[in-house]
């Protein structure tokens, strides 16, 4: 066989092999197996199957050469993300603060403790009957008194615009943060964060008067609306 025929034969064989490999690659691409994006079974206790993340990181990216390994890891991470969101929702619902019942708080509040807590107020307020106004108005009989109505005191425009009277609930809310309750008022007190402390102070203020309003009834006591 001449040299030209040998080269022609080698070329034909190489071409045939190339065509065969190309066709095989083409058909494998068309017929490649499809793997689901989610796990095909429920793991024990609804947890994704264990994945050795350290091994995955050490061998990255060769550790994920197999398509099923990549899809399995994606499904695992997806399940973990969904579980994290659901746990956050449950946790947020579980930590939602309960609604405060002022009637219950006042029923257990000690006015003597409130008097001690209210000592911080004496630099601006007088608590005695017929006592003077100071930086703030006299607080004798404040419970049930109309807002911004004590004679002789110059109230801020913001406080003067407030309608209604000082109820137990209104004082309780106001003492949490005077600046937030009535924006623009002149009271510089930061407020009492503890509901129990505020209830004690409000209970004490309720003793400063000749005829204070009755305390609100605790919820569930059966006396609402009477």
Please return the burial class of 200, using the count of CB atoms within 10 Å of its CB with bins 0-12, 13-18 and 19+.
Answer: buried
Three-state DSSP class for residue 103: helix
Identify the residue with better confidence: 88 or 193: 193
> Which pLDDT band, with edges at 50, 70 and 90, does 12 fall under?
confident
Mean pLDDT of 38-59: 55
**What domains are there in the chain, each with its CATH number?**
3-94 (no CATH), 102-205 (1.10.760.10)
Q: What angle do CA 42, 61, 73 make, to 5 degrees?
A: 10
pTM for the whole structure: 0.56
Nearest to 212 by CA among 182, 171, 174, 184: 171
* Whether residue 156 has pLDDT greater than 70: yes
DSSP state of 146: B
pLDDT (tens digit, 9 = 90+) per residue, 118-155?
999 999 999 999 999 999 999 999 999 999 999 999 99
């Amino acid at each position: 066989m001449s040299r030209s025929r040998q080269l022609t034969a080698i070329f034909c064989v190489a071409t045939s092999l190339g065509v065969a490999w190309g066709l095989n690659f083409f058909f494998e691409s068309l017929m490649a197996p499809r793997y689901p994006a989610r796990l095909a079974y429920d793991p024990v206790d609804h947890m994704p199957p264990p994945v050795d993340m350290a091994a995955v990181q050490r061998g990255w990216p060769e550790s994920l050469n197999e398509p099923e390994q990549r899809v399995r890891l994606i499904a695992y991470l997806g399940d973990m993300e969904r579980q994290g969101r659901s746990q956050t929702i449950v946790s947020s619902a579980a930590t939602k603060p309960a609604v405060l019942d002022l009637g219950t708080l006042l029923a257990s509040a000690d006015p003597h403790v409130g008097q001690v807590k209210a000592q911080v107020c004496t630099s601006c307020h007088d608590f005695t009957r017929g006592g003077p106004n100071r930086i703030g108005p006299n607080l004798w009989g404040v419970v049930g008194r109309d807002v911004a109505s004590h004679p002789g005191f110059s109230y801020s425009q913001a406080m003067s615009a407030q309608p209604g009277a000082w109820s137990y609930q209104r004082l309780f809310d106001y003492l949490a943060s005077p600046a937030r309750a009535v924006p623009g008022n002149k009271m510089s007190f930061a407020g009492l964060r503890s509901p129990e402390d505020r209830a004690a102070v409000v209970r004490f203020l309720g003793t400063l008067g000749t005829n204070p309003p009755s305390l609100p009834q605790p919820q569930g006591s059966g006396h609402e609306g009477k």
